[in-house]
Amino acid sequence: MGTTVTTAKSEGKTWGGGNEPMKASYGKLMMWFFIVSDALTFSGFLAAYGLSRFKFIETWPLPDEVYNHFPFLHGVDAPMYYVALMTFILIFSSVTMVLAVDAGHQLKKGKVAFYMFLTIIGGLIFLGSQAWEWKNFIKGEYGAIETQGGSILQFVDNEGNRVKLEEFAAILAEDRVQDTRDKGVWFSSEGSLPSFSVAEVQAGFKAHPELLIRTEKLYEATEADKANKTLHPTLNTKPKHKSILTREASEDMLAKAHYVVEGANLKRNEYGSRLFADFFFFITGFHGFHVFTGVLINIIVFFNVLLGTYEKRRSYEMVEKVGLYWHFVDLVWVFVFTFFYLV
């Protein structure tokens, strides 16, 4: 039989981790592998969003006009305020998770349970806030018209303020039938009928000469525009805004109306480009699924803490592993918030 020669290298002095590479347990190492792979997935989604946005930058909605709602402040223009609050709540829940992990290292069961509970509450508030945001996004606020070419037309007064369809649309005596496949309209089934028909919007617009149409095309105010503000008080001099047509051009454009759009879905979007709604639902929904999963795991770990499972093991490593996942979810939201809402 041969003799096995043991060297310093084979004893593990160079490796340093023994059976645990980088002194990390198998479960913790697998969590890092998952985080890296999931980070690449989110990176691909955000890269696709950025490419699509800058390709259709002229028709991309302005975030300040889309995310301008705040609970219990109906009609108040509060751009990005509630999204910022959601972000703060999620980041704060990451702080409480850090405190839970630190308490676990000290084997303090009561503090671990307390901070885990706060983390779960923060996650639930974030999920509820995201559901509220989805509701407002899907329902819409002002309504718009889609032309035969797929362009979105919004309505403003002579001062550039948005006007809701319900504020000017006429009520006509007409029969409106929803297209469904059981009526023989194959491959053309539509959702619920909008509140108003195209004819009612056109009639109402004609009866209100002070109304104008705002297109989905982005327009950047020049220095000349700002200088002409005194001569033309209705001229919009914001750094970026949507182009407003003259009354005559508005009537010509409205004649091409094809469909009344209220809110947003995967097929139509009153805010502008349909891709904007597609990415909103997909990216925020995918992240929301991660938060929901994290909350469920945190609840399971929380009850295990209460039952003393980790106290008996003399190790709260499971809290540390779910903490890694929760920090990752929070970090991803920072990137989603930055690239989707702010930029």
Q: How far apart are the first and last CA of the chain?
A: 70
Question: Which of 74-83, 195-204, 300-309 shows the lowest per-residue confidence on average (mean pLDDT)?
Answer: 74-83
CA distance 304 to 136: 37
pTM: predicted TM-score of the whole model, two decimal places: 0.82
Q: Is 273 exposed, middle or buried (0-12, 13-18, 19+ CB in 10 A)?
A: buried
H-only helix segments in 140-241: 198-206, 223-227
Confidence at residue 94, expressed as pLDDT on a 0 to 100 scale:
96
For 9, the token pair is 């290298």
Over range 213-242, report the average pLDDT: 59
Average pLDDT over residues 330-338: 94
* CATH 1.20.120.80 is the classification of domain 23-140+276-342: yes
Residue 232: per-residue pLDDT: 44
Residue 1 has pLDDT above 80, yes or no: no
pLDDT digits (tens, 9 = 90+) for 294-316: 999 999 999 999 999 999 988 89
Every domain range in the chain assigned CATH 1.20.120.80: 23-140+276-342
